[in-house]
Structure 1
Amino acid sequence: MPHARFERRIADLLAEADVRIGGNRPWDIQVHDPRFHARVLGQGSLGLGESYMDGWWDAASLDGLLFHLLAARVDERVHGAGEIFDALRARLTNLQSPRRSGDVGRRHYDLGNDLYAAMLGRRLVYSCGYWRGAADLDTAQEAKLDLVCRKLQLRPGMRVLDIGCGWGEALKFAAERYGVSGVGITISREQADYARQLCAGLPVEIRLQDYRALAEPFDAVFSLGMFEHVGVKNYVGYFDVVRRCLPADGLFLLHTIGSSRSVQRTGPWIARYIFPNSMLPSAAQIAQAIEGRFVLEDWHNFGADYDRTLQAWRGNVESAWGALGSRYDERFRRMWRFYLAASMATFRSRRSQLWQLVLSPNGVPGGYVVPR
């Protein structure tokens, strides 16, 4: 029987990760539809995520299951047929060209401010919190924003640029706490409208604009969680934009998720349902792109903090589903649960990192003093 053969193959793969079909441990998988096995073997990670969205399987600890699979690198043993095409397309095409750059804004960041307000906490900051000394999400996010300002050595009167400003929280924080003025750019209309209201009365300008159109001077530049949408074919151009916006004594802080290996695309499920045309940079790809353009003053990895941030986001959004309305239906909720759980698993297994780089055009005279 084909189904039995497929089930044995899946059971053998799961056993390598200490996962059992029908087991009673939190990370064991409960299969509700026998078509699950063939779907995963034929479609890889895309089939795993879509079959979860369709209710074909469950696990008491979804992030625990996905962590076991990633830690054992089972995902590298199963590739869907479509992944070969995706890899070829990413190699031959600039998936993050100006024409495509707005896709992620429309399909992800414009989903609804109500969803993000429910999930992200008091501040709408959609990037990793800094949990050193923090006991809750709001404190961790405030600590992260303050860390960014201290690393950039912000002072009253400086004019700063936020590339990918989100809902404007970082610029608002910098303007109120450090006395700076600034410009924030985003490709999300929902974010831009919210950020303009949030920063009303502050010396902050919010623009709906692609980063490639920037060509004006700033005293300092930062980017929090936007570089994941730039794409390796555009890294050199991205750093050239930052370089032309900075004075000789300016600083740039890049806050980005990073991959432990060099790739040119993201996973097929994430690309289809969460972040179209995205990809995570590797250390090698970043280093190659900044060579001859910047001096690397500091490279800070606190990726383990992202697991804790994601757990807080999950707790918030799970408590809020009942108040968010019917347009976030059960399939959407399962999609969002899979997204958050898979993200937790990648950071918990240390397959993904969270990096903050501080870069200077010519090197800080006498050396850069690193805040932590």
Structure 2
Amino acid sequence: MTSDPRVGPIALPDTRARRVVEQLLDGSGVELNGDRPWDIRVLHPDFFSRVLHQGTLGLGESYMDGWWECDRIDEFAHRLLRHGLANRAHSTAKRLLYRLQSGFFNFQSKARAYMVGEAHYDLGNDLFERMLDPTMCYSCGYWHDADTLHDAQVAKLDLAARKLGLESGMRVLDIGCGWGSFAEHAARRYGVEVTGITISKEQAAFAEARCQGLPVDIRLMDYRDLDGQFDRIVSIGMFEHVGHRNYRTYFDTVERLLDPAGLFVLHTIGSNTSKISVDPWINKYIFPNGVLPSIEHIARTTENRLLMEDWQNFGPDYDRTLMAWLENFDTHWPEIAHNYNERTRRMFRYYLSVCAGGFRARHLQLWQVVFSKWRAGRYDAPR
């Protein structure tokens, strides 16, 4: 049953499930059927039991099904996370099952590497063109001196380029090149030769078209299959798909492909803890098999391989980036609504909003890390 969001909230049933949910929300600043932007309006009587039994998966799916409404899901998520509900958001059984499975199975093996491309990145360039800015960067912008999303994304691309110390004629590898934003920026502004790899057919085709006439080679392939030698390597918003069982292979590959005097910039979302877990809703609907690394994961698997030269965290900038994407998405949805259904619209609104709330609560981080191969001399990272 899908409730009509135009109908007002229902009278809350006096059930044990409702009382448990109210107890969980107590002290969070979020109320059921309240009148503040971050309060949720319950539209279906089974909402409470669904959330209690299915956790974050049930919460997200029930929103997609129209079982509840909230004017500011980002603030709703922010308040719940600051209240400490993250560890209680999905069942112990589901967390344990994922940890057991991930111990025995490599969810990010080469055989499964293209799943996220097919499930998310290939969803439709028309959607992403309207949600993102003209750079088509699908990663955190750098808002230090920026006033618009476009300025923030150009600043992010140039921040990575300056950290790499790009010079004309260099050979650059872009692992997870997306729609070709960094490849075009680096080739056009710095005169470098770029090899970009992606596991998305739609991204590869788009990147090839935008980089025509530039010294850019876009390839549809997994990072583990690449050979060659590069002066610089960059990876922006891809490491989240690597998986903890493949971290050593990933950094071994970077070390193998990087010139002895080279530099590598890793741009990734990060977790505050090293627990191997995944949000069930994000895993099912947005990024299948994605796992966020921790500081320990990165430090441990780069030790004796690469030298960490600089580590910058601008996680709060992702909150602002996601909210800008949400504004674009809402503004331009009528242009593409005929290509998708209402459930997809609600899925993207929920995804962008809850992720913004996660960064706002400092539950998630965004790191740019610079590595060298035991480089001699001083490295001064630009800001």
By the TM > 0.5 criterion, same fold? yes
Aligned partner letter, 1:103:
M
Match of 2:308 among 287, 296, 299: 296
Q: Kindly state the Cα deviation for residue 226 of structure 1 after the two structures are TM-superposed.
A: 0.1
Q: Which of 226-235 and 84-93 deviates more?
A: 84-93
Q: Would you identify which runs of 4 or more consecutive aligned residues in structure 1 move more than 4 Å?
A: none
Structure 2 counterpart of 1:16, from 27, 30, 47: 27
Aligned residue for 1:326, secondary structure, equals helix
Mapped partners of 2:369, 2:90: distance in 1: 33
Show CA shifts across 1:169-210 (max 9, x none).
101100110010110000000000010000000010000000
Aligned-pair distance for 1:3? 5.6
Which of 203, 209, 228 in structure 2 is aligned with 1:216? 228
CA contact (8 A) 1:3 1:35 kept: no
**Structure 1 residue 50 and structure 2 residue 61: aligned?**
yes
Residues 1-372 of structure 1: pairs in structure 2 closer than 5 A: 4-80=15-91, 81-363=93-375, 365-372=376-383
Q: Deviations over 1:108-151 (max 9, x none)?
A: 00001001100111110000000011000000001111111100
Q: Report Cα offsets for 1:78-112 as digits up to 9, x if no partner.
A: 43354432232122211000011110010000001
Instruction: Give distance in 2, aligned partners of 1:114 and 1:78.
Output: 33
Write the distance in 1 (CA, Å) between the matches of 2:322 and 2:89.
26
Contact 1:161 1:183 in 2 (8 A): yes
Amino acid across the alignment from 1:27: W
Deviation at 1:367, TM superposition (A): 1.1
1:67 alignment partner AA: H
Note the residue ranges of structure 1 that are not aligned, 5 or more in a row.
none
Is contact 1:63–1:345 with CA below 8 Å preserved after alignment?
A: yes
Alpha-carbon distance in structure 2 between the residues aligned to 1:105 and 1:37:
34
Is the 1:195–1:206 contact (alpha carbons within 8 Å) kept by the matching residues of 2? yes
| Secondary structure of 2:209 counterpart | helix
Q: Secondary structure at the match of 2:288?
A: coil
Q: Distance in 2 between matches of 1:200 and 1:3?
A: 63
Partner Cα distance (1:78, 1:124) in 2: 33
Deviation per residue, 1:25-53 (Å, 9 max, x gap): 11111111110111111111111111111
CA distance in 2, matches of 1:12, 1:292: 49
What SS does the corresponding residue of 1:233 show, helix, strand or coil?
helix
Distance 1:254 1:17, change over 3 A: same
Q: Secondary structure of 2:32's match?
A: coil
Cα drift, residue 248 of structure 1: 1.1
Structure 2 distance, partners of 1:73, 1:90, is 25
SS at structure 1 position matched to 2:161: helix
Query: Tell me, which stretches of 5 or more residues in structure 2 are unaligned?
Result: 1-11
Partners of 1:263 and 1:281 within 8 A in 2: no
CA separation of 1:86 and 1:3: change in aligned 2, threshold 3 A: farther
2:13–2:45 Cα contact (<8 Å) kept: no
Q: 3-state DSSP class of the match of 1:44?
A: helix
Task: Look up the equivalent residue of 2:151 and give its one-letter code.
Answer: T
C-alpha contact (below 8 Å) 1:3/1:37 kept by paired residues: no
Indicate if the aligned counterparts of 1:260 and 1:352 stay in contact, CA closer than 8 A. Answer: yes
1:250 is paired with a residue whose SS is strand
Number of aligned residue pairs: 371
CA distance in 1, matches of 2:290, 2:90: 19
Instruction: Name the amino acid aligned to 1:45.
Output: T
User: For 2:241 and 2:277, how far apart are their aligned partners in 1?
Assistant: 10
Task: Provide the C-alpha distance between the structure 2 equivalents of 1:69 and 1:366, rounded to a whole number of angstroms.
Answer: 46
Q: Which amino acid aligns with 1:72?
A: H
Q: Retained in 1: the 8 A contact 2:114–2:199? A: yes
Which amino acid is the alignment partner of residue 321 of structure 1? W
Deviations 1:293-330 (A, max 9, x none): 01100000000000000011001010111101323211
